[in-house]
Amino acid sequence: MAALTRPDMFQATIQMSHPYHPPPTPPFGDKQTEPKVDIQAELAKLNPPRKHYKWYNSTQTAAQDWDNPPQGLETFLRGYFHLKSSDWQPNQLAGPLTEWSAQALEQLPEYYIMRAQQTMPSSVAENMQNEADPTRTEAWLSPSDLQVYCREWQRTGFQGALNWYRAQTASTPQSRKDMLLFAGMKIEVPCCFISGRQDWGNYQQPGALQSYEEPRAVRSGCFRGARLIDGAGHWVQQEQPKAVVAEVLAFLQTL
């Protein structure tokens, strides 16, 4: 949003791990907008019933779940980092989804499309049960570094961070009005996207990654490409820091 709203200040931008998608536009004339899919309701119809992690993280109880994981905060966070990294074998299958539907989203791992009864700590615990070496992530996230995360989250709690999801999932007249302030705007400065090749986050919103090539989203000639780094999942700057630095420097050379 920074480069979108203030290109005079932000003269180039790199997005990482979460691709940009353009703001919504209002309907014009008598053109009818297609009704939005109630993805939570559709996911609940699956067998077994599922739910979207963004909506779960927006609930009143999510922060309490994150603050008080039964397995302990260090074990929970170690598992969470592991499951979203390239060290977790199922992430090798990361690839595009066909559409925003329950059937398509069902392909996503349970840290994104959770079972309906799960909390995030219970989802992590269940998916870590059969991991032969849960300490593999120590190669790029040492126990001492993880302790820094634990101490800070214990000090602050998770609610502040989870408020981001509330902003993402808000669907009120005021939130829709707020977003229409940016209708029709596009990125008009040089940009690129850097992420891990084994990151399902690249694809959790179908079409977002492809939107960089659309003139309505990014001014023609401004997109300098997507760099997907092998051997990295969602934590690309930690899993493959040297490769990330190389890609950042390569992008800067194009300016």
Which pLDDT score is estimated for 197? 98
Is the same domain home to 75 and 128? yes
What mean pLDDT is reported for the chain? 93
For the segment 145-173, the average pLDDT, to the nearest whole number, is 94
Is the same domain home to 46 and 163? yes
Within-domain flag for 179: no
Is the same domain home to 151 and 55? yes
Is the same domain home to 7 and 116? no
Is the same domain home to 190 and 246? yes
Which pLDDT score is estimated for 32? 55
Within-domain flag for 207: yes
pLDDT higher at 30 or 212: 212
Which pLDDT score is estimated for 101? 97
Is the same domain home to 223 and 192? yes
Within-domain flag for 121: yes
Is the same domain home to 195 and 231? yes
User: What is the DSSP annotation of 10-35?
Assistant: ---EEEESS---PPP----TTPPPPP
Is the same domain home to 194 and 233? yes
Per the structure, the complete domain to which residue 227 belongs is given by 2-23+185-252
Within-domain flag for 178: no
Convert the pLDDT of each residue in 139-157 to its tens digit: 999 999 999 999 999 999 9
Instruction: Tokens for 28, please give them.
Output: 């014009």
Which pLDDT score is estimated for 131? 92
CA–CA separation, 236 and 29 (whole Å)? 44
Within-domain flag for 220: yes
End of a domain among 167, 201, 229? 167
Convert the pLDDT of each residue in 222-247 to its tens digit: 999 999 999 999 999 999 999 999 99
**Residue 31 banded pLDDT, cuts 50, 70, 90:** low
CA distances from 190 to 41, 69, 138, 161, 209 (A): 39, 42, 35, 29, 16
pLDDT above 90: percentage of residues in the chain? 81
Within-domain flag for 173: no
